Structure 1
Amino acid sequence: MTPTVAIVGRPNVGKSTLFNRLVGKKLALVDDRPGVTRDRREGEARLGDLEFRVVDTAGLEESTEESLLGRMRAQTEAAIGDADVILFVIDARVGILPADRPFAELVRRSGKPVILIANKAEGGAGLAGAYEAYSLGLGEPVPLSAEHGEGMADLFEALMPYFPEPGDETEDEEEEPGKPLQVAIVGRPNAGKSTLVNRMLGEERLLTGPEAGITRDSISLDWTWRGRPFKLFDTAGLRKRARVEDKLEKLSVADALRAVRFAEVVVVLLDATIPFEKQDLSIVDLVEQEGRALVIGLNKWDLVADQPGLLKELKEKAARLLPQVKGAPVVPLSGLAGSGIDNLMKAVVQVHETWNRRIPTARLNQWLAEAIETNPPPAVSGRRIKIRYMTQVKARPPHFAIFGNQLDALPKSYTRYLVNGIREAFDLPGVPIRVSLRMGKNPFDRDRK
């Protein structure tokens, strides 16, 4: 079993920088101000020949349980409880602060192995702070610089005693069959994304609360539904671009957009009490541009479920406002109450299958002939545009190539007619459809010279 290493400490000591160094990627958001990290973020780390799961945590601060800081602290304490080894990080340049001591006591009481890290000690600048760290009673500090990669060999030696010798690992764990289906959950701030993910996982894994914009990093989590593996991405709320001025929020938004690009299916979560705001439509448009499969989730449905005919009305509104993803599933649910999650996942699996679908060329061209006969392309300068042939060039999302002459003069309205026809004839709801127009002879007609 892969060991788990948790990185803890007060805010702004460089925990996320160390996390990024260990996973070899800039997964965690990093900024000079304290308190950037709020949720636990996990990653696969490698140091020398040691492989382990590393967990980045929020900075430990004294606070009441009900406050946001208190809930962040609870997440960090949960990470300590799950860890096999704890890296307790201090800022060697600043030295030991009063805030470090109660949390040093917290990790000591956990009974877990603790390695004391004196970070920001590059060039020997923090050696005095490193020596001062002995007073915490956590053993000999390991001076290093997470930002510059200094001292990682010493960290390797400190971790080695807590890892099994090569060949000692048990072989009873079987890899889950199939690659996880990657699902990103996006939406405006306070739409209930983290609450929904917590309910799906069956634990308070992500920070939630009435405050908008709690989530900053895009957190990826492994989950199994009905025996099938999924990777869920909880993302920061996406506000109107004009309102995003803060540097940290820009980083959060960029992280959320990256999650959309890596996902296969995107669940756009709407607040059912105020659905289809302009920003909701912009987010759906972004998903379509990225070519991802789409499911629309109407969260907080328990607050409006007593309104008869509302679901039918909202489905009609979705079809009218979102023609580019016509037929996208619209699923009522409540992350807080836990209702509708099964229906949401059924829609996710179905739209993923549609996104991967390939249509035989013979069927396509049979449909194309009928579509052209019903509505022929217009004439240009007295000469009619000819569409000769059509084939699907790839899936994920479905992409079709149309061959003919004078296609550069084909009106966009006629291309839309073809796209809508393809969507309806071959049952492709909720996925973007791409069409390329290619002029020249039919490459599949061997008789033409």
Structure 2
Amino acid sequence: MSTPIVVIFGRPNVGKSTLFNRLTGNRSAVIDAMPGVTRDRHYGSALIQDKAWTVIDTGGFTQSTQDPLQALLNAQVEIALKEADLILWVLDAQTGSLAEETIFAQKLRQYPQPKLLCINKAEGIAADVACSDFACLGFQDLCAISTLHHENLDTLKSYINTFYPTQNSLSETELITDTIQLAIIGRPNVGKSTLTNALLKEERMLVSDIAGTTRDSIRVPLLYKQQSYTLIDTAGIRRKANVPKRQLEGYTVIHALRSIESVHVVLMLIDATEGITDQDCQLMRYVVEAGRGLVIGLNKSDILSDTQTYTLERSIDDRLKFVHYCDHHLCSAQAHQGLNRLMRSVKTAYLSTQKRPSTSELTQCLTQAQIDHPPPMIKGRRIKLRFAHLSSGTPHYIVIHGKQTQSLPKSYHRYLENVFRKRFKLKGIPVRLSFRADSNPYIDNTSLK
């Protein structure tokens, strides 16, 4: 299921990044813009009341055209707006509506997507009063909040979900088929198209030594070892005549994100000669947040020296701890080496994505885990975990209900994750846990009096 995109828009210093953190659960941005504009756009995954969204935090939009950097930033914001399913326009209740924002309102009307106005910094101000200051902008959907004080955020989240698309580009029914949807991602010039050609055994994709070679993202059918695949090369999109070269990066990033959201498994290709970079890790973190299967290919390993191979293996142990559950393989797309190992791991990860343990199976596993290794005591009482189930619509997001779950240490979280992974043979996919504390009936009864 392709996750819809919500874009956070607004002028500088209105609280966009704080809202981003509130929606994504204070996750760090998993993918930055390309070098030179790394502070301008951040991407994150958000589970908003059991509905999955991709959230994009954009740079501050202004009218200034004198500053070339600001002009570039504005262009990047417009790229994000075009890809949005919902636009969150953040405004400042403390300053009220500014003349500049009337011009922004005219610009936003050019985009057909729904808009929700978030009147931020509304602490101490009645919601209707805060919203009335911005009625002149001509939009009917407004919500007064305070990101700093966590005020009215649940109302905002419910409001956001009223815009959740009823259909996406790839439905959940379509995704669960015998054909494995596989995206090949990676930084420019790591060999994505060469790998696609090697798997297809034909020169189907444009291959160039120039980093950032642009072309349409293409879905290609493949039959490999009696298994049907659809390959998606995410190297980029064809540059339109009216798209400046430096803007193309924004389209490429968002296009790749959509591809990740619409597949079963992602094959992350890394240039072994350059080692594992920060950008490689950022891309993989997004795959993890999206809940997709992941296999890592260390390409061009055939030209490594023994010393380089040793250094690479040491860096794998250090840098890839957060994806310890994924297979990684040395390979060479150019020399057709290691491809069978890669594709075996892809199929293993796919089979894991198709497993749907029942509530009874998960609860039995949870009960046995507590017998084998009981949770700690808190104030003389042992934490009790009662039952577990899968969250609807989010792959392998296990919700665990119990008492005092907020006091459960992170080490026990990791223990349970490993237990579930081992019990259900979940290889190559992230297993995420969410804990729900049972309500206290005495507190609840008191509050009703």
TM superposition score normalised by structure 1: 0.52
Q: What does residue 219 of structure 2 align with?
A: 220
- Residue aligned with 2:370, SS: helix
For residues 332-365 of structure 1, give each alpha carbon's deviation from its aligned partner in whole angstroms, at most 9, with x where no partner exists.
2111111222221111111100122234656544
User: Once the 2 structures are TM-superposed, how far is the Cα of residue 202 of structure 1 from its aligned partner?
Assistant: 1.8
1:377–1:384 Cα contact (<8 Å) kept: yes
For residues 264-313 of structure 1, give each alpha carbon's deviation from its aligned partner in whole angstroms, at most 9, with x where no partner exists.
10000011112221111111101000111000011112112x628948x7
Amino acid paired to 2:247: K
User: Once the 2 structures are TM-superposed, how far is the Cα of residue 185 of structure 1 from its aligned partner?
Assistant: 0.5
Q: What does residue 281 of structure 2 align with?
A: 281
Q: What does residue 413 of structure 2 align with?
A: 415
- Residue aligned with 1:263, SS: coil
1:191–1:269 Cα contact (<8 Å) kept: yes
Q: What does residue 387 of structure 2 align with?
A: 389
Q: What does residue 260 of structure 1 align with?
A: 260
Of 427, 430, 433, the match for 2:428: 430
Matches of 1:333 and 1:206, distance apart in 2 = 19
Moved more, 367-376 or 294-303: 367-376
Correspondence 1:3-42 to 2 at 5 A: none
Per the alignment, do residues 412 and 245 of structure 1 end up closer, same or farther by CA in structure 2, a change over 3 Å counting? farther
User: Once the 2 structures are TM-superposed, how far is the Cα of residue 201 of structure 1 from its aligned partner?
Assistant: 1.5
Matches of 1:224 and 1:427, distance apart in 2 = 26
Per the alignment, do residues 326 and 427 of structure 1 end up closer, same or farther by CA in structure 2, a change over 3 Å counting? farther
Matches of 1:300 and 1:265, distance apart in 2 = 22
Of 337, 347, 350, the match for 1:349: 347
Matches of 2:367 and 2:313, distance apart in 1 = 32
The structure number with the bigger radius of gyration is 1
Correspondence 1:308-327 to 2 at 5 A: 310=309, 317-318=315-316, 320-327=318-325
Gaps of 5+ in 2: 1-176, 238-243, 440-449
Per the alignment, do residues 196 and 379 of structure 1 end up closer, same or farther by CA in structure 2, a change over 3 Å counting? same
1:184–1:232 Cα contact (<8 Å) kept: yes
Matches of 1:353 and 1:179, distance apart in 2 = 10
For residues 7-43 of structure 1, give each alpha carbon's deviation from its aligned partner in whole angstroms, at most 9, with x where no partner exists.
xxxxxxxxxxxxxxxxxxxxxxxxxxxxxxxxxxxxx
User: Once the 2 structures are TM-superposed, how far is the Cα of residue 193 of structure 1 from its aligned partner?
Assistant: 0.5
Q: What is the aligned residue count?
A: 257
User: Once the 2 structures are TM-superposed, how far is the Cα of residue 394 of structure 1 from its aligned partner?
Assistant: 6.2
Q: What does residue 129 of structure 2 align with?
A: none
- Residue aligned with 1:197, SS: helix
Per the alignment, do residues 353 and 403 of structure 1 end up closer, same or farther by CA in structure 2, a change over 3 Å counting? same
2:348–2:427 Cα contact (<8 Å) kept: no
Matches of 1:436 and 1:279, distance apart in 2 = 28
Correspondence 1:128-139 to 2 at 5 A: none
User: Once the 2 structures are TM-superposed, how far is the Cα of residue 317 of structure 1 from its aligned partner?
Assistant: 4.5
- Residue aligned with 1:185, SS: strand
Matches of 1:373 and 1:307, distance apart in 2 = 47
Moved more, 325-334 or 291-300: 325-334
- Residue aligned with 1:284, SS: helix
- The root-mean-square deviation of aligned C-alpha atoms, in Å, is 3.0
Q: What does residue 437 of structure 2 align with?
A: 439
- Residue aligned with 1:246, SS: helix
Amino acid paired to 1:422: F
Amino acid paired to 2:415: Y
Q: What does residue 248 of structure 1 align with?
A: 248
Q: What does residue 200 of structure 2 align with?
A: 201
For residues 28-77 of structure 1, give each alpha carbon's deviation from its aligned partner in whole angstroms, at most 9, with x where no partner exists.
xxxxxxxxxxxxxxxxxxxxxxxxxxxxxxxxxxxxxxxxxxxxxxxxxx
- Residue aligned with 1:280, SS: helix
Q: What does residue 330 of structure 1 align with?
A: 328
2:217–2:236 Cα contact (<8 Å) kept: no
- Residue aligned with 2:306, SS: coil
Matches of 2:347 and 2:269, distance apart in 1 = 17
User: Once the 2 structures are TM-superposed, how far is the Cα of residue 374 of structure 1 from its aligned partner?
Assistant: 4.4
Per the alignment, do residues 281 and 351 of structure 1 end up closer, same or farther by CA in structure 2, a change over 3 Å counting? same
Amino acid paired to 2:369: A
Matches of 2:420 and 2:336, distance apart in 1 = 36
User: Once the 2 structures are TM-superposed, how far is the Cα of residue 403 of structure 1 from its aligned partner?
Assistant: 2.0
Correspondence 1:46-195 to 2 at 5 A: 179-195=178-194
1:299–1:334 Cα contact (<8 Å) kept: yes
Gaps of 5+ in 1: 1-177, 239-243, 442-449
Matches of 1:317 and 1:428, distance apart in 2 = 25
- Residue aligned with 1:358, SS: coil
2:236–2:255 Cα contact (<8 Å) kept: no
Moved more, 392-401 or 252-261: 392-401
1:397–1:431 Cα contact (<8 Å) kept: no
- Residue aligned with 2:205, SS: coil
1:188–1:237 Cα contact (<8 Å) kept: no
Determine what percentage of the aligned residue pairs are the same residue.
39
Higher RCO (CA-CA < 8 Å; seq separation 6+) = 2
